[in-house]
């Protein structure tokens, strides 16, 4: 295989897998343990969640937990009311089934007030692509509702054709 084809083939594979990447994904919250030392607001800002994504909370279960709460309780950290669900296993996989906002806190004393809280906005995924998994710059995203599978193979064929042309050019001129 020529060097240029070796470069193009992974690009094609990546591009062909983009429709899969655009579907549900698992996210380890904070990219590490669920704890008091992580800026979860910044982490959430750097991700675009779609319905079907899964948040994975990993923590020492004797030290933390995960409560899904209302927005008011997220802000007040007062769990006397507004608790929707509690998770305590130390490895909680929570699917974001709906396009809406979700709020999570740790209910151990002082942890929520100390910043151990997460708010995520979940979109339906049908009309907007992810912000953090952009396609190659030369290839536009398919418009909403179009047959997303229709264009990638053609694009990759043209990539391959381009690579083949370049290879022939190199062989003819330099070998």
Residues of this chain that bind Cu ion (CB under 5 A): 64, 106, 108, 111, 116
CA distances from 3 to 14, 45, 155, 167 (A): 18, 39, 20, 8
Structure tokens at 147: 């047959």
Give the helix ranges, DSSP H, for the chain: 3-21, 40-45, 71-76, 151-174
The helix (run of H) or strand (run of E) holding residue 118 is strand 117-123
Measured from each CB, the residue nearest to Cu ion is: 106
Closer residue to Cu ion (CB): 33 or 52 = 33
Which is closer to Cu ion, CB of 76 or CB of 123?
76
Minimum distance between the CB of residue 78 and Cu ion, rounded to whole angstroms? 15
Judged by beta carbon, residue 96 or residue 118, the one nearer Cu ion is 118
Nearest residue (CB) to Cu ion, 120 versus 163: 120
**Residue 163's Cα: distance from chain center in Å?**
31
- Residue 48 CB, shortest distance to Cu ion, in Å, is 26
* Closest distance to Cu ion from the beta carbon of 66 (Å): 9
How near is the Cβ of 40 to Cu ion at its closest, in Å? 11
Q: In the block, which residue shows the tokens 């020529």?
A: 2
CA distance readout (Å), 19 to 12, 16, 135, 150, 173: 12, 7, 10, 11, 39
Closer to Cu ion by CB, 91 or 169: give it: 91
Q: How far apart are CA 49 and CA 130, in angstroms?
A: 8
The distance of closest approach from Cβ of residue 114 to Cu ion in the complex, given in angstroms and rounded to an integer, is: 8
């Amino acid at each position: 295989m020529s060097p240029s084809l070796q470069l193009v083939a992974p690009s094609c594979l990546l591009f062909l897998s983009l429709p899969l990447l655009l579907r549900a994904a698992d996210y380890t919250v904070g990219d590490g343990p669920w704890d008091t030392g992580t800026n979860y607001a910044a982490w959430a800002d750097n991700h675009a969640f779609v319905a079907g994504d899964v948040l994975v909370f990993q923590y020492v279960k004797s030290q933390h937990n995960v409560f899904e709460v209302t927005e008011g309780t997220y802000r007040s950290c007062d769990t006397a009311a507004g608790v929707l669900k509690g998770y305590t296993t130390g490895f909680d996989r929570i699917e974001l089934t709906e396009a809406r906002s979700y709020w999570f806190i740790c209910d151990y004393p002082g942890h929520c007030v100390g910043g151990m809280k997460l708010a995520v906005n979940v979109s339906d995924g049908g009309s907007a692509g992810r912000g953090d998994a952009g396609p190659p710059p030369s290839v536009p995203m398919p418009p909403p509702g179009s047959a997303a599978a229709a264009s990638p193979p053609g694009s990759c064929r043209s990539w391959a054709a381009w690579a083949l042309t370049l290879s022939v050019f190199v062989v003819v001129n330099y070998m």
